[in-house]
Amino acid sequence: MLPASLIDLSDFSSEEWQKIVSLALKIKEHPEAYFGRCEGKILATLFYEPSTRTQMSFQTAMLRLGGQTIGFDNPMNSSVAKGENLRDTIKIISGYADILVIRHPMEGAAKAAALNADCPVINAGDGGHLHPTQTLTDLVTLMQEKGRLDHLTIGLCGDLKNGRTVHSLIKTLAPFQNRFVLISTKDLCIPQYIRDILDANGSSYEEVFSLEEAISELDVLYMTRIQKERFASQEEYDAQKDVYVLDKEKLSHAKGSLRILHPLPRVDEITVDVDDDSRAVYFKQAVNGVYARMALILTLLSSEEKTPVPTGKEIKTATCRNTKCITHTEPYLPSCFQECGDMLICDYCEDRFLI
């Protein structure tokens, strides 16, 4: 039984998400065979944060499948501006649409939405936490470019702390036999929970500072933008920006078979002259986002029996310590946690703390 919603790709078995990736590649080959498959269905896009690719690729995907779309891309033009809570907005829109896509600045918001929705919910990015449909896009691109998702040396470079695309990709690929080279400054290294997932899977990984030193051994380089909007101050952002810039000189030390991915948007972490290098596949990757999302919409709308969003144990006396967690702005949400030894793991944002 498939999960009803896509909040975290880890809620799907690897067979289930691999089927979605294969379907995306099939759709890419013969898109016309899938036109009209969602006729009469409505997809709602609720974007509480800016987006170009994710929002428009979802809209394109639904239109190509013959369905229609509704939604907002500025919550201040919706009843959110009048103080409506997430629960009520979701309740109402899930009564209008057949499937709902949400992007929100708070971590765990998509899960909170799914718990209150009467239709499938897709997480299109919840703060600095996860971005599973970007991961589907990345996996389609890796299959297309490398023909496999294992035995790869994958470098991830830039804002590994706040980059939700990085977290989702590592979580999904950790159980496969890949080697991760995590390239960042100390301040922007991966969160502890991602390190714990790598350890639990026995994954090989190293955390390094220098892109120059790491680049020659990589099969895949996943560049990311420094996530300005997640910084507490301009000074903190200024201290991190421009540390990593992939240019032609650095690329001259890389393998001919390297593939450079980037979820985009790019700021200045890849110079524009790299775009002409055949190893740069980020624009192809953005196009794959449409096929990945067509495959996902088709899968979620066609599965008959679905498992509800998994929830942990409600502990009324406990509060998540992560100030960016949705439980702080939507206080009616049940305080649910997974218990792990002497730690509690927040069900929404995965922040973990000692009891």
Given its phi and psi angles, is residue 122 left (phi above 0), alpha (psi -120 to 50 degrees) or beta? Answer: beta
Q: Which range, of 9-17, 70-78, 188-196, 258-266, touches ligand NCD by CB under 6 A?
A: 258-266
C-alpha 144/C-alpha 288 separation (Å) is 10
Does the footprint of ligand NCD cover residue 263 (CB under 6 A)? yes
Q: Give me the least distance between CB of 158 and ligand NCD, in Å please.
A: 9
Task: Give the range of 171-179, 261-269, 301-309, 341-349 binding ligand NCD by CB under 6 A.
Answer: 261-269
Judged by CB under 6 A, the residue of 64, 164, 171, 259 near ligand NCD is 164
Tell the smallest beta-carbon distance from residue 254 to ligand NCD (Å).
Answer: 22
Q: Is the peptide bond before 105 cis (omega within 30 degrees of 0)?
A: no
Q: Is 109 in the site for ligand NCD (CB under 6 A)?
A: no
225 vs 324, which CB is nearer to ligand NCD? 225
Please identify, using beta-carbon distances, which residue of 21 and 336 lies nearer to ligand NCD.
21
53 binds ligand NCD (CB under 6 A): yes
Give dist(CA 325, CA 34) in Å, integer.
Answer: 38
What stretches of 147-209 show up as alpha helix (H) in DSSP? 164-173, 192-200
CA pair distance 269, 245, nearest whole angstrom: 4
Query: Are the CB atoms for 104 and 348 separated by under 8 Å?
Result: no
Contact between 129 and ligand NCD per CB under 6 A: no
CB nearer ligand NCD, residue 238 or residue 314 = 238
Nearest approach, Cβ of 63 to ligand NCD (angstroms)?
19
Burial class (CB in 10 A: 0-12, 13-18, 19+), 239: middle
Rule CB under 6 A: say whether 264 interacts with ligand NCD.
yes
Residues 6+ apart with CB under 8 A from 315: 335, 336, 337, 344
Comparing CB distances to ligand NCD, the nearer of 116 and 134 is: 134
Can you name the residues that pair with 183 across neighbouring β-strands? 157, 208
Q: Which of 5, 116, 134, 322 binds ligand NCD (CB under 6 A)?
A: 134
Q: Closest approach of Cβ 36 to ligand NCD, in Å?
A: 27
Rg (CA), the chain: 20
In the list 45, 89, 165, 299, the residue contacting ligand NCD (rule: CB under 6 A) is 165
CA distances 89 to 71, 86, 251, Å, are 11, 5, 47
Stretch that binds ligand NCD, among 32-40, 76-84, 262-270, 325-333 (CB under 6 A): 262-270
Report the distance separating Cα 32 and Cα 59, nearest Å.
17
How many residues sit close enough to ligand NCD to count as binding (CB under 6 A)?
Answer: 12
Our finding on whether 57 is near ligand NCD (CB under 6 A) is no
The yes or no reply on residue 55 touching ligand NCD (CB under 6 A) is no
Among positions 64, 104, 111, 131, the unique one binding ligand NCD when judged by CB under 6 A:
131
- Candidates 75-83, 183-191, 233-241, 260-268; binding stretch for ligand NCD (CB under 6 A): 260-268
Closer to ligand NCD at the Cβ: 1 or 232?
A: 232
Q: Give start and end residues of each alpha helix (H) in the chain.
A: 14-29, 53-64, 86-96, 109-116, 132-146, 164-173, 192-200, 211-214, 234-240, 248-251, 282-302
Residue among 129, 225, 324, 352 that touches ligand NCD (CB under 6 A) = 225
Q: 336 — alpha (psi -120 to 50), left (phi > 0) or beta?
A: beta
Residue for token pair 């596949």: 281
**Contacts with ligand NCD, residue ranges (CB under 6 A):** 53-54, 125, 131, 134, 164-165, 225, 227, 263-265
